[in-house]
Amino acid sequence: MNAVIEEAVPYAWGRKNPTIAECTQSLRGVQDALYVLNGKWKLPIIIALSHGPMRFRELQRTIRTVTARVLSKELKELEMNEFLIRHVYPTTPVTIEYELTPYSETLDSVIEALRNWGLQHRERILKKDHSIDANFPEA
């Protein structure tokens, strides 16, 4: 692991010649962020809830391909990490709504950066695929 970090030192996150400790700390922060947001559904859930509170079934209909079991697990993890709150209303039957917390707003710039990078990456890969196709004309 240290060899990998030492090789990365000259190129670490825009700084010239950061120390191994600085690289390790930066890497730890990235790993922590990825751990919290890991999973196929966490960001889509957060984005869906950015339109307002939703019940479980509403979320499931909005994010069509997520299973109930996985959605339940992801909601619990997002609640544990303080990105959303679960409201239980004493109606018959019981009504449960999920709502983003103010803390979830700290992800706004992260989501925007990921979206922008994703669009740029998609464009780059699609251009690359077209150049490959141009080199191999159909017979």
In CATH, what number is assigned to the domain containing residue 90? 1.10.10.10
Are 125 and 84 in a shared domain?
yes
Number of domains in the chain: 2
Tell me the helix, strand and coil percentages in the chain, rounded to 5.
65, 10, 25
Extract the residue ranges of the chain whose pLDDT is less than 50. 1-2, 4-10, 136, 139
Query: Tell me, what's the pLDDT at 19?
Result: 83
Are 78 and 30 in a shared domain?
no
Query: Tell me, what's the pLDDT at 132?
Result: 57
Are 32 and 59 in a shared domain?
no
Cα angle vertex 37, ends 103, 27, to 5°? Answer: 100
| 1: its two tokens | 């692991």
Are 83 and 31 in a shared domain?
no
Are 57 and 86 in a shared domain?
yes
Query: Tell me, what's the pLDDT at 29?
Result: 86
Are 80 and 112 in a shared domain?
yes
Please give the residue range of the domain that contains residue 21: 1-38
Query: Tell me, what's the pLDDT at 23?
Result: 83
Cβ neighbors of 14 (< 8 A, separation 6 or more) are none
Query: Tell me, what's the pLDDT at 119?
Result: 94
Query: Tell me, what's the pLDDT at 17?
Result: 77
Alpha-carbon gap, residue 16 to 10, rounded angstroms:
6
Query: Tell me, what's the pLDDT at 15?
Result: 64
Neighbours of 75 (CB within 10 A): 21
